[in-house]
Amino acid sequence: MPGWLAAERWSPYVVGAAIGVLSWLTFLLSDKALGCSTAFARTAGMLERLVRGRRAEERPYFRKFPPVVDWEWTLVAGVVAGALLAALAGGDFRLQWVPALWAATFGDGAAARLAVAFGGGILMGAGARWAGGCTSGHGISGTLQLAVSSWLAAICFFAGGIAAALVLFRLIGGG
C-alpha cells in the first residue's frame, strides 16, 4: 500500500483533485452530478414505506424521487466505507461515543452528545433539502457547472460554518 494511503491525514490538494476527477467521471459515465442529500430523503421514504406501505410513494416528493436504493444511496455507503478504510489504514480508527473535546467542555455523558448529533443531523438534512442540495451537490457539482444558485449556496455553507465555529469556539472558552 502506498505510504500516503496509510497517512493519518491526507493532503487536501490530492483529495480535492480526486473529487474533481470523480466529478468528471460521474458526468461522463452517468450524466449525473455528485450529490447525496437525496439519498437521505429516499431513506426516509423507505422507512415511511415500512409503516404506510405503498401510500408513502404517493407523496409528490416521492413521485419525483422514488424511495429506492440508487446511485446516490450507494455513494453515501461508499463514503462511509471509504472513511472506515482510510481510518483503519491510517491507524486512526477507534470507537468513541464522546470525543475528548466534547467531554472536556460538556461532560462525558453520551446521551447529550447523541441528542446534539441527532438534532444537528436533522437540521443539516432539512437545510440541504431547503437549499435544493447538499455541500457535495451544490459545493462540488453545482459550482463546477457555474450555477449561480450553487455558488450562493456554497458561500452560505462557508459563512454558516465560520459563524458556527466562532460560536462554538466562544462557547468552549477559546476566546
Q: State the cell numbers at 144.
A: 463546477
- Spell out the residues 6+ positions from residue 142 whose beta carbon is closer than 8 angstroms to its own: 33, 133, 149, 150, 151, 153, 154
Phi/psi for 126 (5° steps) reads -65, -40
Q: Is the pTM of this model over 0.85?
A: no
Rounded CA separation 68/52 (Å) = 15
Dihedral angle of Cα 100, 105, 106, 112, to the nearest 10 degrees: -50
SS (H, E, C) 102-139: HHHHHCCCHHHHHHHHHHHHHHHHHHHHHCCCCHHHHH
Res. 4: pLDDT tops 70: no
Segment 43-92, tens digit of pLDDT: 989 999 999 888 888 888 888 888 999 888 888 899 899 889 888 888 88
What confidence tier does 126 reach under pLDDT thresholds 50, 70, 90?
Answer: confident
pLDDT-above-70 percentage for the chain: 94
Query: Model confidence at 155, in pLDDT bands (50, 70, 90)?
Result: very high
Please determine, for residue 148, whether its predicted confidence score (pLDDT) is greater than 90: yes
